[in-house]
Amino acid sequence: NSNYDITFVNGTYTITKRPIVVTIEDKTSVYGDSIVSLTAKVTSGSIVNGDTAYSLSTTATKTSNVGNYKIEGTVADNNYNATFVSGIYKINEKTISVEWDMTQDIPKAANLEGIDITYEYYNLAGELLTEFPSDAGEYKCVIVCANKNYALTNTECVFEIIDSEVQ
C-alpha cells in the first residue's frame, strides 16, 4: 500500500537460562559397602528435551570413615540456572557379631581378621587383669575395638582355667 512507508528494524530474541531448583536426596551406606547411586529431584522449574541439566557427586567412598559427607550438585548443561539444596551422605558403622574360638588355651575372635582389636581379661569380680590369667578359675575376656568404623557385638565371653594337677 502506498499510504504507508514501512521500515523494518532488526530485533533481538533472547533465550535465558531455564531456572531450576534441585533438591539432593540424603543417602546412607555401611562402612566398606559400595556407595549407592546419588539422586535428586527438581523441586522448582523443569528440565526439557530430556536434557541432563545437572550432575551429583560426593567425596564419600566405600573406604571413607564413619561420618557425614556432603552431596553436591553442579550444572551440566549451560542452558540451565540451577540452585542446589545439598544432601548428606552418611557412612554408618559396620556391625559384626564376634564369633569366639574357644578351641585354644586362650579365647580369641575367629572372624575379626584385619581389624585392630585388643583383648582385656577380668576376674569375675570385675577387676581388670594386667595379663592373661594363669590361676585356675573363671574369667571374662572382652574385645576392645578402637576403630570407630565397626560396631562389635557379642564382645564378651566367660572361660575357665582348670587346675591341671591331679588330686
pLDDT, mean of residues 122-148: 93
Q: Tell me: the pLDDT tens digits for 65-77?
A: 999 999 999 999 9
Residue pair 76/47 in contact by the 8 Å Cβ criterion: no
pLDDT given at position 164: 66
Q: Is the pLDDT of residue 166 over 60?
A: no
pLDDT given at position 49: 92
> What is the identity of the amino acid at 82?
A
pLDDT given at position 104: 83
* Chain centroid offset of residue 40 CA: 18
Mean pLDDT of the chain: 93
Burial bucket for residue 81 (CB in 10 Å: 0-12, 13-18, 19+): middle
Grid cell, residue 53, equals 541439566
Query: What is the distance between the alpha carbons of residues 139 and 162, in angstroms, rounded to a whole number?
Result: 11
pLDDT given at position 5: 87
Note if the pTM is more than 0.85: no
Sign of CA dihedral 49, 50, 52, 54: positive
> What is the identity of the amino acid at 27?
K
Q: Tell me: the pLDDT tens digits for 17-60?
A: 999 999 999 999 999 999 999 999 999 999 999 999 999 999 99
Query: What is the distance between the alpha carbons of residues 23 and 166, in angstroms, rounded to a whole number?
Result: 75
Q: Is the pLDDT of residue 159 over 80?
A: yes
| Cα–Cα distances in angstroms (integers) from residue 32 to residues 1, 2, 37, 141, in the given order | 81, 83, 15, 27
Burial bucket for residue 106 (CB in 10 Å: 0-12, 13-18, 19+): exposed
Query: What is the distance between the alpha carbons of residues 74 and 55, in angstroms, rounded to a whole number?
Result: 5
pLDDT given at position 62: 95
